[in-house]
Structures are given as structure tokens and as C-alpha cells.
Amino acid sequence: MRTLVAGLGNIFHGDDGFGVEVADALLRQDWPDDVQVEDFGIRGIHLAYQLLDPYELVVIVDAVSRGGAPGSVYVIEHQPGEQIPERGDDAPLLDAHDLGPDGVLALVPALGGTLGRVVVVGCEPQLLAPGVDLSGPVAGSVETAARLVSDIVWAARDAETNELIGGETR
């Protein structure tokens, strides 16, 4: 199962560096050859182009504001074929260094690509301001998010293996 795990964020903007920190933690683990873990940082446009290559599973890790308590970890799943909000004609031009998960995902079809299963693992930021350190609540969620990403990747691989052997367990 070809899988990409992508950490997004700006390490010089406080909690926005969450995805990068999680990617760094995941890079210290051993992964099968068909699982690629990468720190994309602020290179969201590069991630969009990377997604033009087909992946069965993409996991994006980033700071995501959803109104919860700082440090809350979210799992947001986009199924293949699910409509991603597109940029309107009157929307400002995209900033290649400021593409969040939705912007990256919306750009892929515009570039001619198609998305498979996409899971966003996000963390509610406390502070998005210049600085190189994560806030306490967000730093405390890095290992939780890394475990979640690992669980998502391995569960998807197990499901694919189970499907390939006809639903039997070994």
C-alpha cells in the first residue's frame, strides 16, 4: 500500500510547527519501503505536486483550528472522490508558503491529479505567533499524534492485507 505521511507547518511560527515535529518523531521509526514520511514544512505547493503521483493513503499532519482546547488532536478523513472545497475565481492567488491541508487537497484536482484516501491528523494550536517553540499543550500532543498516525498507517495496511487474502486471518 503506497502511503505518504506529510508533516506541514512553519517551525518559526509557534504551534504551526506541530506537523513538522510529528514528522520528525515519525522519521525516527522504521517503515516499510512503500511508506514515505516527509517533513514538507511550508512547502505545501510541493506536497500538492507530490500528490499527483498516486498514493492509496495520504496522512497530512498539521496545526488545525477547530475551536477545541489547545492540544486537542483531531482525525479528519477525506474519502476518495469526496469533494474538497475549491478556490473561487475571485479568491486571492495561493501563497505557495501558506497552503494548509484543505488548500493542498483542493489544488491536486486543479493540477489534474486525483486523491485516494486522505486523513488529516491535526492539533488545536494555542499560539500562532513568531517563535520556535511549541506551546506546552501542543508539545504534549506530538507523541499522541505520532501514535495515531502510526495506528492509521498500520490499520490501513492490515485492512488491505485482509482484503487481499479474502477476509481470512492468518
CATH number at residue 133: 3.40.50.1450
Residues β-bridged to residue 71? none
Amino acid letter at 30? D
- Mean predicted lDDT score pLDDT of the chain: 85
Give per-residue pLDDT as tens, 70-120: 999 999 998 666 655 444 443 333 444 456 788 888 889 889 998 889 999
Distance linking the first and last C-alpha atoms of the chain: 19
Would residue 170 count as lying in a domain? no
Please report the pLDDT score of residue 54 as a whole number: 86
Would residue 169 count as lying in a domain? no
H/E/C letters for each residue in 132-150? CCCCHHHHCCHHHHHHHHH
Domain that holds residue 101: 3-164
Q: Is the pLDDT of residue 121 over 90?
A: yes
Q: Tell me how many domains the chain contains.
A: 1
Would residue 158 count as lying in a domain? yes
Q: Which of 35-39, 102-106, 166-170 has the lowest mean pLDDT?
A: 166-170
